[in-house]
Amino acid sequence: MSDPVRLEIHDGIGTIRLARPPMNALNTEVQEGIRAAAAQATASPEVAAVVVYGGEKVFAAGADIKEMADMSYAAMSARAGALSSAFDAVARIPKPVVAAVTGFALGGGCELALACDWRVVADDAKLGQPEIKLGVIPGAGGTQRLARLVGPARAKELIFSGRMVESDEALAIGLADRAAPAGEVYEQAVAMVRPYVGGPAQALRAAKLAIDGGLSMDLAAGLAWESQLFAGLFATADKREGMAAFVEKRPPHFTGE
């Protein structure tokens, strides 16, 4: 049997591919596979940008409920942190990351998409956090990332109701960034991050750290964090190349150093 999660690298783009048919249910093995693939994408100099993809039919329909149904409070208390941190490993990839969403992205599947920088969704995709209908709440980032993305009032309505959101509404509320026919979602996602291949990797990393880190800070702390990251880039070869290219009126040739 092939791995339920694998990292495929082609032309500078790493694809974290979920492959646990039929619905890519996010059991413990898949969660740990996501963590490992995120770590590999982070470390690999061959990867400049990342696409998270579940295949042509479904992104991920949520956690493996059969695995969770008999778990006690003590058992889940021991597991909950690892579940959340597996998706956080995707959020912390210091490179541009886009989710290519086909079919369903529900529960943990929606949380995985939320951990990405952007979401390209199929025009027939359905996203949501239906955990409330199981008597629980999102436990892998949904209450936090969804509220930061679409605002607390809208996040409360979606999480309290557990309803599914179709692509047009997802675009309207900012849950999705682009929609495409199902057969073109992956290609659209690749096109979205391809411009970053060969880009200034250290500056892209710093920009992502500044934005994501600043969201948890007050303005003064965020500005100080930005200044620190900004100054640090003056030690990079890409800064020297970028500014030299500007002065010399030529395209820059970044090396990621």
Q: Are residues 101 and 158 in the same domain?
A: yes
- DSSP secondary structure, 22-90, as one string: TTT-B-HHHHHHHHHHHHHHHH-TT-SEEEEE--SS-SB--B-HHHHTT--HHHHHHHHHHHHHHHHHH
Per residue in 215-231, pLDDT tens? 999 999 999 999 999 99
> Phi, psi at residue 48, to the nearest 5°?
-100, -25
pLDDT at position 249 over 70 = yes
Q: Are residues 83 and 125 in the same domain?
A: yes
Is residue 254 a part of any domain in this protein? no
Q: Are residues 88 and 22 in the same domain?
A: yes
Q: Are residues 116 and 174 in the same domain?
A: yes
Q: Are residues 118 and 209 in the same domain?
A: no
Cβ neighbors of 142 (< 8 A, separation 6 or more) are 107, 110, 111, 114, 129, 131, 159
Q: Are residues 117 and 238 in the same domain?
A: no
Per residue in 154-207, pLDDT tens? 999 999 999 999 999 999 999 999 999 999 999 999 999 999 999 999 999 999
* Contact in structure between 50 and 96 (CB atoms under 8 Å): yes
Is residue 252 a part of any domain in this protein? no
The single residue listed with the structure tokens 């990405």 is 116
Count of residues for the chain? 257
Domain boundary among 154, 174, 196: 196
Q: What is the pTM of this model?
A: 0.94
> What is the predicted pLDDT for the residue at 70?
84
pLDDT at position 1 over 70 = no
Q: What is the band of 2 on the pLDDT scale with cuts at 50, 70, 90? A: confident
Q: Are residues 42 and 94 in the same domain?
A: yes
> What is the predicted pLDDT for the residue at 169?
98
Which residues are catalytic, by number?
63, 108, 111, 131
> What is the predicted pLDDT for the residue at 165?
97
Q: Are residues 130 and 214 in the same domain?
A: no
Is residue 214 a part of any domain in this protein? yes
Residue range of the domain that includes 67: 5-196
